[in-house]
Each structure stands twice: as structure tokens, then as C-alpha cells.
Amino acid sequence: MSSSSIDKAALAHLAKLARIELDAAEEERLLADLGNILEHFKVLAELDTSDVLPMAGGTDLMNVLRNDDARENTDRGDGVEAFPKSQDGYLKVPSVFDR
């Protein structure tokens, strides 16, 4: 393994963060797998990307959103009379939690 490989201490730290327990066989397999993954990144880092244009999401599509205009709420209290129970202009609903 090269100097940029993950060592056992780093793997133990990652396992602790992920809250997983590893036995010795799993530890060795993960060290080898992570070392191979880092080797692939080394190969990618050697590629010349100077002529490649940057991308942002890979698409020209844009979300269409309405303007968020401020307006005065004029319908407060409308529909209270259609609700089964109300009190002082507010809707009355059953309790969610027991006291």
C-alpha cells in the first residue's frame, strides 16, 4: 500500500464515526478495498482536464418559480364556521398528546 492509503488507525476512526464494529477479517478487507479506491482517484488526478469545461448539474433546465410577492392576508377566519368545533375564531382539534 502507498503512503496515501488508509491505515488501521484511520479505519478505526471511520468505523467509530459510522458506529460499526469490525472484526479483523473485515478490517483487512476494508483496508484493501479503500486502498484500491484511493488508487483509482490517483489515476483520475493524473488526467489532463485543462480543456474540459466545468459543468453545473449537467443540464440547462431551470426551475420555474413564481415571484414571492408580499401581500396582506385578507381571509383570516374564513371557513371557521364550516369546521366542526371552533373557539374564539380558532379551529379546535383533539389533543395529540395525553397529559
pLDDT digits 0-9 by tens, 54-75: 877 777 788 888 888 888 877 7
Tell me whether residue 76 is in a domain: no
Give pLDDT, residue 2.
46
CA–CA distance, 2 with 60 (Å, rounded to integer): 41
Q: Would you say 59 and 33 are in contact if contact means Cβ atoms under 8 Å apart?
A: no
pLDDT beneath 50: ranges in the chain = 1-2
Question: What pLDDT does residue 44 have?
Answer: 92
Residue 83: the pLDDT is 86
pLDDT at 4: 57
- Identify whether 55 is part of a domain: no
Range of the domain at 27: 8-45
- pLDDT for 26 equals 95
Determine which helix (DSSP H) or strand (DSSP E) holds 24, and give its type and residue range. helix 24-45
Q: How many domains does the chain have?
A: 1
38 within domain boundaries: yes
- Domain membership of residue 24 (yes or no) is yes
